[in-house]
Structure 1
Amino acid sequence: MSNHNANTFTAKRKPVVLMSMGAQERKGHAYQVMTHKYITPLAEISGCVPLLAPSCCGVDDLEQYLSMVDGVYLTGAGSNIDPILYGQDNLTPNKGQDKDRDLFDIPLIRAAIERGIPLFGICRGMQEINVALGGDIHQKAYEVPGFNDHREDSNDPVEVQYSDTHKVRPVPGSWLAELIGEEEFPVNSLHGQAIDRLGEGLEPLAHAEDGLIEAIHMPGAKQFTAAVQWHPEWRATENPYSVKLFQAFGEACRQYAAQRDQ
C-alpha cells in the first residue's frame, strides 16, 4: 500500500467495537450468534465497525481483541447470567443460560475498564457490568414488592413486545439528563431480572416509575461507561433517544481511537 493510500485509510478509519456473541442450539449444532438489531445501530448511528467475537473459545485471546478495538458493546440476549457468579442459587432453572458468554464478558468488562476503553451495555449487558464489578441481580424482579412486572408478553407480535410501555427518569444533573434533555422519556421493557445491589463504582443513571434501576454509569472511570436496561437498539433510527445514546457511544469510541492512534 502506498503512503498516500495508507494515509487515506487512516483518515477514513472508523472505530472498531467488540461485540461478544452468544450461544444458540439449532438442529443439534452449536451456533454463535448476534442479532441484526444490535449490529445495525452501531454501524448506522454510532459510525463504528462491529467486530464479533465468539465467546465459546475462552479468554486466552482477550488482550489481543482489546488491542484491536476502540469500544466494547454488550448486548441483550435470551439467557440469564449464572447466579453462582453473584453468590446465589438459581431461582429460574427453566430459563436458558450461556456460561461461555458469562465467563468471557466478565473478564472482558474488567479489562476494558482498566484499559480505558468505552463500554456500552444493553439489558443483559447492563447486568453483566454490574456482576463483573461485584453487584448482584433480582432474579425475579416481578416478584419484588413495589416493582412492576417489566416482562414482555411472548404471545404478542414483536412490534408490540418492543413498544414503549413505561417512562424512565434520568438522574437530575447527570450526563444522561443533559443528553436526553427531558425529565422523563418512554422506553420499552422486556426483562424479568434487574439490578439489586450495585457493583463497585457504579451509580444509577435513570430509574423507572417504580424505582427500578434502568440505567447505570461509572462516574469514576475515565472513559464512557454506561448501560441501560431497556432496548434502544429496536428500530433505533426511528427513536430520537436511541439515536442520542448510540451517537454518544460512537463519539466516545472516536475519541478513544484518536488518542490511541497518536
Structure 2
Amino acid sequence: MSNSNIGNKKQTLRKPVVLMSMGSQERKGHDYQVMTHKYIVPLVEQSDCVPVLVPTCCGIEDLEQYLDMADGVYLTGAGSNIDPTLYGQENETPGKGQDKDRDNFDIPLIKAAIARGLPIFGICRGMQEINVALGGDIYQKVYAEPGFNDHRENPEDPVDVQYSPAHGVRPIQGSWLQQLLGDEIRVNSLHGQGLKNLGKGIEAIAHAEDGLVEAIHAPTLSPFLFAVQWHPEWQAAKNPDSVKIFQAFGDACRAQVKKKQARALAA
C-alpha cells in the first residue's frame, strides 16, 4: 500500500455503530419487539451515529457478537418497570407492566459494555438499569416518599404538555455536565420511580429541586457512562440542551471508533 493510501485511510472515519435494546409489547395477541421513533431520531440526527436495534427476547447468547460491532450503547426509556427482585425488593407497583426479557438482557449488556470501555448513554429506565446493574436500588414510588415531589406526568394531558418543562435540574458545580449545560436547566418529568442508593462507581452529577438524582456518571468505571432521568430525546432538535447531550454521546462514540481504527492500523 502506498503512503498516500495509508494517509487517506487514516482520514476516513466511519460513523459509530450504537446498540439500542428493544422492549416487549403485546398487540392483539402477538408479542412485538419495539423501539420508539423519538429515541432513534436524535441518535441519527444529533449524535450522527448508526443505530442497531437489538431484540431482547432471545437471551444473551449473542451478546458478545453484538458488542463486537458496537461503538456505543444507548439504553432508552420504556413503559415498563424493572423487576424489583433484581434489586432485592418486593413489587410495590403490581399494576405497572414489567419487561423481564429486557432486564435480563440489559443488565449483562451494561456490565459487558463497561468491561470493553464502550460509551453508554441511558435515559429514564436506562438510567435505572445502569444503577441496578451496578448494585444500586430504586424508589418504586418517588411520589410516596417524604420530601420528594411527584415526578409523574398527568396521563390526561396531551403528549406535548406531558413532555413540556416541569422542573429545574442543577448539575454539580464544577462538573463536566455543568460546563456543558450551565448552572440550571429546565426538564420534563415523566417517571414514577427514581434512584435510591447508587450502585458501585456511580456518582450523582445533577439533582432536581427536591434533591432526587436526575443524572449520573461513573468516571472511575468508564470514559463515558452518562444517564439522565428526564427525556432529552423528546423533540431534541428544538432543545439546545438535548442537542448538546446527544452530541456529547456521539463524540464519545466517535472517539471509540478512532481508537479501534488506530489499533487496526497499528496491527
Normalised TM-score (structure 2): 0.94
* Residue identity matched to 2:229: Q
Q: 1:53 corresponds to which residue?
A: 54
CA distance in structure 1 between the partners assigned to 2:25 and 2:135 by the alignment: 27
Q: 1:70 corresponds to which residue?
A: 71
Q: 1:252 corresponds to which residue?
A: 252
CA distance in structure 1 between the partners assigned to 2:261 and 2:37 by the alignment: 30
Which deviations, in whole Å up to 9, do the C-alpha atoms of 1:31-90 show, x marking residues without a partner?
000000000000000000000000001000000000101000000000000000000000
Number of matched pairs: 256
CA distance in structure 1 between the partners assigned to 2:241 and 2:247 by the alignment: 10
Q: CA deviation at 1:222?
A: 3.7
CA distance in structure 2 between the partners assigned to 1:131 and 1:237 by the alignment: 30
CA distance in structure 1 between the partners assigned to 2:258 and 2:17 by the alignment: 12
Q: 2:235 corresponds to which residue?
A: 235
1:161 aligns with 2:162: yes
* Residue identity matched to 2:173: P
Which deviations, in whole Å up to 9, do the C-alpha atoms of 1:116-165 show, x marking residues without a partner?
00000000000000000000000000000000000001110000000000
Q: 2:150 corresponds to which residue?
A: 149
Q: CA deviation at 1:12?
A: 5.2
Structure 2 residue runs of 5 or longer lacking an equivalent are 263-267
Runs of 4+ in 1 over 6 A off after TM superposition: none
Q: 1:127 corresponds to which residue?
A: 128
CA distance in structure 1 between the partners assigned to 2:256 and 2:13 by the alignment: 15
Q: 1:28 corresponds to which residue?
A: 29
Matched residue SS, 1:57: coil
CA distance in structure 2 between the partners assigned to 1:162 and 1:219 by the alignment: 30
Q: 2:202 corresponds to which residue?
A: 202
**Correspondences of 1:37-116 after superposition (within 5 Å):** 37-116=38-117
RMSD over aligned Cα atoms: 1.3
Stretch deviating more after TM superposition (220-229 or 120-129)? 220-229
Structure 1 residue runs of 5 or longer lacking an equivalent are none
Matched residue SS, 1:120: strand
Which deviations, in whole Å up to 9, do the C-alpha atoms of 1:172-197 show, x marking residues without a partner?
111100111x2111000000000000
CA distance in structure 2 between the partners assigned to 1:33 and 1:108 by the alignment: 18
Q: CA deviation at 1:223?
A: 1.7
Matched residue SS, 2:110: helix
Q: CA deviation at 1:221?
A: 2.3
Normalised TM-score (structure 1): 0.96
Percent of matched pairs sharing the same residue: 70
